[in-house]
Amino acid sequence: MNREWRKLLYYWENYYNMRLLLLCSISICLLFSCQHESVDDVSQVQPHILWISVEDISPSIPMYGDSTIETPNIDRIALGGTVYTHAFTIAGVCAPSRSGIITGMHPQSIGTMHMRTGKDVGGVSKEKYASDIGLKDMTGGNVPEYSAVIPSEVKVFSEYMRREGYFTSNNAKTDYQFAPPMTAWDECGLEGHWRNRQAGEPFFHVRSTVVTHESRIWAKKEDSLLVDASLVPIPQHFPETPIVRQDVARNYSNIKEVDGQIGQLLDQLEEDGLMDSTIIVFWSDHGGPLPRGKREIYDTGIHVPLIIKVPPHLQDHVLGYTVGTDTRHFDDQMISMIDLAPSMLSIIGVEVPDYIQGQAFLGPQRAQQERQYVYAGRDRLDFHYDKVRIVRDKNYLFVKNYYPELPNYMDVRYRRQMDMMQELLQMNESGELSGDVAIWFNQTKPKEEFYIVVEDPLQLNNVIADSNYRDEIIRMRFAIDLWENELNDYSEQPESEMVANMWPDLIQPKTTTPQIDQEGLITIIDNTEGSSIAYQLSDSPEPTDDWDSWIVYDTPINADGSKYIHSKAIRIGYKHSEVRTLKL
């Protein structure tokens, strides 16, 4: 039973004045009207939202001026849509970035900045986390696998959407640095699809693709290329070799392949008659997969494509302007990917929680002033520690290195599987690299870096010592200091201490078992700070484990003839409580 029906039953059974009866009648009529997906009715319902999450790509597509390949299906999203030219992630690697996107928070503020905390990548949590994986922090302290315990007030934003009556489905990657809470999704797995919702329910669906992931550079190297390797552009920070050409061409081919998958998804929307009622958001979790791209905090690692298509009749509400159907709008405002969470809530009319650090750029709650700056950071990457913070505006990038004695290049074992990476390491060892190609392998780095991004899009020419930019450097240095002072930065403590605070005695905390009370309507209470409650009504004395069987508890429940109610308490980073069952 969805949230709106529960509210109606609550009023119907407990209040009998004519005003509330009239409100119930109107609401019932609206619910039945939502059963039809026609364009005439769409203005009366909450819009559907489809997220297309493409891993590991920079703006290396035609909409951003790179004509190496054709992407007709991404172009379909852009036609009648908005292309955001200055969208940036808050980390150059997936798990910290995704934790920020799903919460609207900088990972340093919630303890999710280290890559990676555990193995909670898919739709289910680990039953057991390894206590010793051979990882030591900068002080020599042991760092186990863990699911990050984030501040008690912070939720994943899809939970707010579920409470608002949205059918939320995720197919299928999570990788939030914590196990995905059951309250976040009606479905979370490879079977997740908007087609599994009840008739008339608005949906929020996330579809992730892996074809463009870094690992596919080597996993697909025997596949036929979809682009001529002799014609692909080679960036100036790469040497000109056949292996480099092969891997660059593989990356473009993977993007072209994923474009075909996007076309299939868009065709499904068309088949279901949903294109005119669905907001489509195309994005990447960080920059491209090639060396000095992913994991870095230069534009190569954090500048991403972001394209949003809004049905014409919703454009004024969502965008504040009209694009039309046969044009493309290019928007150069600064966007941080933590702005997606508050923007989605703004679109559907949910008040954006005060704790969220992102700012809405869509919907009625969009910020009156555009961002001046975006911020990002780099911390542990697998078994390698560093700490870097950056601030970026439209013209400049300022970098603050906490460990200048360390090189920029981090010898991540996973990346060494790429032929191109192995060749670069061999060439560096033999002294064959020089100039722009060699910068990444410098054995130390300056305490501060400053780049003029319009003139130097790859950030290869550090002008921190140029007195001509003294005022701008001071301004950017002040901006990053101010941001860091507001962060409540978890990285100020060694990771081993942070984990010990999250998991006392390295034992994962567990929520308390909720209490159920039945006096007319059913109420459920849990005493764990920051917990949410999931429940299911059933004719069976045993609960089921399926995601879609559990409902987020929001208001008192009418049992509706069910024999049992099952409930459990959930908090991010905690083990789920035991299930409390009450025979009704």
**pLDDT tens digits, 6-38:** 333 333 333 333 333 333 343 434 333 333 343
| pLDDT average, residue stretch 472-483 | 98
Q: How far apart are alpha carbons 293 and 60 in whole angstroms?
A: 12
Q: 450 vs 280, 440, 445, 465, CA distance in Å?
A: 36, 16, 12, 9
What was the pLDDT predicted at 39? 36
Range with lowest mean pLDDT among 12-16, 300-304, 517-521: 12-16
Residue at 313: amino acid letter: H
Pairing of strands 81-88, 374-378: unpaired
Range with lowest mean pLDDT among 324-328, 344-348, 521-525, 564-568: 324-328
| Domain 3-126+145-367 CATH superfamily | Alkaline Phosphatase, subunit A (3.40.720.10)
Report the share of the chain in percent with pLDDT over 90. Answer: 88
Q: Kindly give, in sequence order, each residue whose CB lies less than 8 Å from that of residue 84, ignoring residues fewer than 6 positions away.
A: 306, 307, 308, 331, 332, 333, 335
**331 three-class SS:** strand
Q: Cα-flanking dihedrals φ and ψ of residue 226, to 5°?
A: -105, 10
Pairing of strands 48-54, 203-209: parallel
pLDDT tens-digit series, residues 244-260: 999 999 999 999 999 99
Instruction: Report whether 371 contacts 90 (CB < 8 A).
Output: no
Of 337, 1, 287, the closest CA to residue 157 belongs to: 337
Q: 482 vs 80, 436, 486, CA distance in Å?
A: 38, 32, 7
Q: How confident is the model at residue 548 (pLDDT cuts 50, 70, 90)?
A: confident
Q: How confident is the model at residue 559 (pLDDT cuts 50, 70, 90)?
A: confident
| pLDDT average, residue stretch 455-460 | 98
| pLDDT average, residue stretch 101-129 | 88
Structure tokens at 263: 């076309």
Structure tokens at 439: 């910068």
Strand-by-strand arrangement of the 551-552 sheet = 551-552, 532-538, 564-570, 580-583
Sign of CA dihedral 566, 571, 572, 576: negative
Secondary structure (DSSP) of 410-453: ---TGGGGSHHHHHHHHHHHTT---GGGTGGG-S---SEEEEET
Q: With left for phi above 0 and alpha for psi between -120 and 50, is residue 520 left, alpha or beta? A: left
Q: Cα-flanking dihedrals φ and ψ of residue 244, to 5°?
A: -60, -45
Contacts from 329-332 at CB under 8 Å and sequence distance 24+? 329/81, 329/82, 329/83, 330/82, 330/83, 330/85, 331/82, 331/83, 331/84, 331/85, 332/84, 332/85, 332/86, 332/394
Instruction: Report whether 412 contacts 384 (CB < 8 A).
Output: yes
| Residue position matching structure tokens 């997906």 | 37
What was the pLDDT predicted at 38? 37
Specify the domain boundaries for CATH 3.40.720.10 within the chain: 3-126+145-367
What was the pLDDT predicted at 124? 58
Q: How far apart are alpha carbons 478 and 480 in whole angstroms?
A: 6
* Active site (catalytic) residues: 94
Task: Report whether pLDDT(46) > 50.
Answer: yes
Report the share of the chain in percent with pLDDT over 70. Answer: 91
Helix (H), strand (E), coil (C) string for 270-330:
HHCCCHHHEEEEEEECCCCCCCCCCCCCCHHHHEEEEEEECCHHHHHHHCCCCCCCCCCEE
Of 242, 187, 262, 251, the closest CA to residue 223 belongs to: 251
What was the pLDDT predicted at 546? 85
Instruction: Report whether 141 contacts 496 (CB < 8 A).
Output: yes
| Residue position matching structure tokens 């849990």 | 526
Residue 136 per-residue DSSP state: B
Mean pLDDT taken over the chain:
92
Q: In terms of residues, how long is the chain?
A: 584
What was the pLDDT predicted at 24? 39
What was the pLDDT predicted at 123? 60
Q: 96 vs 14, 92, 381, 472, CA distance in Å?
A: 46, 8, 10, 29
Specify the domain boundaries for CATH 2.60.40.10 within the chain: 510-583
Q: How far apart are alpha carbons 341 and 516 in whole angstroms?
A: 32
Task: Report whether pLDDT(535) > 50.
Answer: yes
Q: How far apart are alpha carbons 290 and 23 in whole angstroms?
A: 57
Q: So what CATH class is 510-583?
A: mainly beta
Residue 373 per-residue DSSP state: -
Q: How confident is the model at residue 545 (pLDDT cuts 50, 70, 90)?
A: confident
When mean pLDDT is compared over 25-34, 116-125, 487-496, the highest value belongs to: 487-496
Instruction: Report whether 397 contacts 390 (CB < 8 A).
Output: yes
Q: Which residue has the higher pLDDT, 14 or 127?
A: 127
- Cross-strand pairs, 397: 392, 451
**343 three-class SS:** helix
Of 338, 401, 358, 379, the closest CA to residue 492 belongs to: 379
